[in-house]
Structure 1
Amino acid sequence: MTAIQKFESFYTDLASMKIEQLASVYSNDVVFIDPIAAHEGINAVEDYFSKLLHNAKYCTFNIHEIQETKTNNHVVTWQMVFTSSRMNKGKPIAVDGITMLKIADDRVVYHRDYYDLGQMVYENIPLIGRLIKKIKRALS
């Protein structure tokens, strides 16, 4: 399996994956950045995933497209669907995003996620969510 195939397999079946399997996808010195935080090294990424998956009752990624932009660099478009008892009354939340990947030695060495943190979090907190949606309507 190529690094991209391992990446896609891991994320599309996230619910059944074990944290230890991240080491087969990511290098030991991976840099992982998303709108929430930045992490350096596989141990930091494993800790981050452990906390994220502990808080989510369900999480899956629908990968729409993977494009190689130049050798060993890829852009992935996706939609994440998750549920959390802490947000949206436990109902599914869908978040669209893009990931930039750099591959070396058949593992991901750089992972950068871009997504709307408001779509993921703020819009799903009762009082804040209504306020953000009202502001968006006023601006559109």
Structure 2
Amino acid sequence: MTDKLITKVTTLYERFDPALIGALDQIYDTDVVFEDPLHRVEGLVALRRYFSGMVHGLQECGFTFNHILEQRGHADEPDQAVLLWTMHYRHPKLKGGQRLSLEGSSHLQFRERVVYHRDYFDAGAMLYEHIPVLGYVIGKLKARLG
């Protein structure tokens, strides 16, 4: 069961586009909790709404999964997995629409479907550093501190 669900997750996220929104119920529980550095949403309906907003305006987005670590749950505990990934994306308002990459990871807890999903990534590296004026300021701060 675990391998089959993880395969569904990775296959759906290989192309993060509007088609993913309609397939979320194949991998997520109705009461899923999803967190990332920008938001926390509870429930499949809220997750659909959040992802719909994220894909809007994207010219391209997809994930390459570099490593997957799995752990079977004990007794009443759910199974877990950590997925290490690279996201490739393009948005017209970020760095002139250039293709960008971001490293991150996802922690999943699941039974028949995913009940908890938390993404870890640097939100500054994803967004703020690629906005013209803000990116310049962040670059100067990094240079000064680094």
TM-score above 0.5: yes
Partner of residue 47, structure 1:
49
Q: Please report how far the alpha carbon of residue 70 of structure 1 lies from its aligned counterpart in structure 2 after TM superposition.
A: 4.4
Q: Please report how far the alpha carbon of residue 59 of structure 1 lies from its aligned counterpart in structure 2 after TM superposition.
A: 0.3
Percent of aligned positions that are identical: 35
Q: Please report how far the alpha carbon of residue 14 of structure 1 lies from its aligned counterpart in structure 2 after TM superposition.
A: 2.6
What RMSD in Å do the two structures reach over aligned CA positions? 1.4
Distance between the aligned counterparts of 2:64 and 2:118, measured in 1?
A: 17
Structure 1, residues 54-113: CA drift from partner, whole Å, max 9, x if none? 1211101011111014431111110111111121111112111111000112x1110001
Distance between the aligned counterparts of 1:137 and 1:18, measured in 2?
A: 38
Partner of residue 141, structure 2:
135
* TM-score calculated relative to the size of structure 1: 0.93
Structure 2, unaligned runs of 5 or more: 74-78
Q: 2:103 aligns with which of 73, 93, 96?
A: 96
Q: Map residues 61-100 of structure 1 onto 2, 5 A cutoff.
A: 61-71=63-73, 72-100=79-107
Q: Please report how far the alpha carbon of residue 117 of structure 1 lies from its aligned counterpart in structure 2 after TM superposition.
A: 0.4
Distance between the aligned counterparts of 1:13 and 1:81, measured in 2?
A: 10
3-state SS, counterpart of residue 7 of structure 2 = helix
Matched length: 139
Structure 1, unaligned runs of 5 or more: none
* TM-score calculated relative to the size of structure 2: 0.89
Q: Relative to structure 1, is the Cα distance of residues 61 and 34 closer, same or farther in structure 2, using a 3 angstrom cutoff?
A: same
Distance between the aligned counterparts of 1:50 and 1:81, measured in 2?
A: 18
